[in-house]
A = this chain, B = another copy of it.
Amino acid sequence: MKSSGFDTLYTEARDFFEENLISFCSSPGEAIPPRLMNSMAYSLKAGGKRLRPVLCIKGGESFGLSREKTLPMALALEMIHTASLIHDDLPSMDDDMLRRGKPTNHVLYGEALAILAGDALMGWAFEYPLSTLPGLGIDTGRVCRAMQILANALGPSGICGGQVLDTDRESIEETPDFPWKVTRQKTAVLIRASLLTGAVLAGADEKSLDALGEYGWRLGNAFQIVDDILDVTSTAEELGKTPGKDKSQKKRTFAAIFGLEKARQLAAEESSAAVRALEGTSGDTSFLTALAGYLCERTR
């Protein structure tokens, strides 16, 4: 697939998601306090690549499920991701004032509302798919399995555990494997879950799910390594957030541990391993192959 073809497919899926996200935010339930809704919607609509919803939509499409039917799960993934960003930015955590070129949630709404907006998004991320997917005709066994994957990606062995490993000094382990362990939990687990939930809802076979799971781990690793590199090499304008934060916070990133050149090499290796994993799947994998290649080009 040519790069321009990939761009079109990505943009199309992202735009579909964005439009639906905006209409989703514009008709909240009556029982949601308006200030809470504003705070959640502010961060949900703040932009970003929408990688997780796009992966979910494409995971479903690869096995024949329409994007309208994966949409509730795509929204849930963006809610979980957004909740984790709101909490990561808090003064007691990474203490960031800027995210995607805009003030962070707690800067605008205060710490208490930012914490509650993150919590509420976590609850909504389960409520919304559970209340809509069965009505779209999706088998409840598949719904349970997809929701379990989502919950695992959020919970103590998912991104919450990853954030502890990444920020809690007493949890640091001085082993060569540690940065990989952090990346697996902090980043890769939710990227993997995005693809897998889409495929599970579509009823993909077990062999394909294994292959997509391996692709997800590898793509997630590559994504995090690239992110570490860009934190060193980009300007605030390019990044939409304060660059150099990793270094000032003494984070043990891939760039810090291995240096930029070696980090670029590791990203390329993970990207290649992701593509190789796709050989085991029966669905259409052209988009996923192009995505893995595109990711590495960002560091050049």
- Enumerate chain A interface residues (CB-CB to B < 8 A): 28-29, 31-37, 40, 83-84, 87, 90, 92-93, 110-113, 115-116, 118-124, 126-127, 130-131, 134, 139-141, 143-145, 147-148, 150-158, 160-161, 163-165, 167-168, 170-171, 185
Contact = CB atoms under 8 A, between A and B. Distances in A.
Residue with the highest number of chain B CB atoms closer than 10 Å, among A28, A83, A112, A147: A112
Nearest to A143: B144
A253 to B, nearest CB: 18
A29 B152 CA distance: 12
A127 B148 CA distance: 5
Given A32-B161, A36-B161, A164-B113, A151 B126 contact: yes
Contact of A112 (B93, B145, B152, B165): B93
Contacts of A157: 29, 31-32
B154 A123 contact: yes
Contacts of A141: 134, 140
B155 A131 contact: no
B171 A120 contact: no
A144 B168 contact: no
A277 B33 CA distance: 28
Contacts of A90: 112, 115
Given A120-B156, A160-B116, A168-B33, A134 B127 contact: no
Given A36-B156, A110-B92, A147-B126, A120 B168 contact: no
A84 B123 CA distance: 12
Contact of A31 (B147, B170, B185): B185
A111 B93 CA distance: 8
A160 B123 contact: yes
9 tightest A-B CB contacts, nearest first = A123-B155, A123-B154, A31-B157, A92-B111, A120-B160, A127-B151, A126-B151, A130-B148, A120-B156
Contacts of A93: 112, 115
A108 to B, nearest CB: 13
A161 B113 CA distance: 10
A87 B115 contact: yes
Contacts of A155: 120, 122-124, 126-127
A165 B33 contact: yes
21 contacts: A29-B156, A35-B170, A35-B171, A112-B167, A113-B164, A113-B168, A120-B154, A120-B156, A123-B152, A123-B156, A126-B150, A126-B151, A126-B154, A127-B148, A127-B152, A127-B155, A131-B148, A139-B140, A140-B140, A140-B143, A143-B144
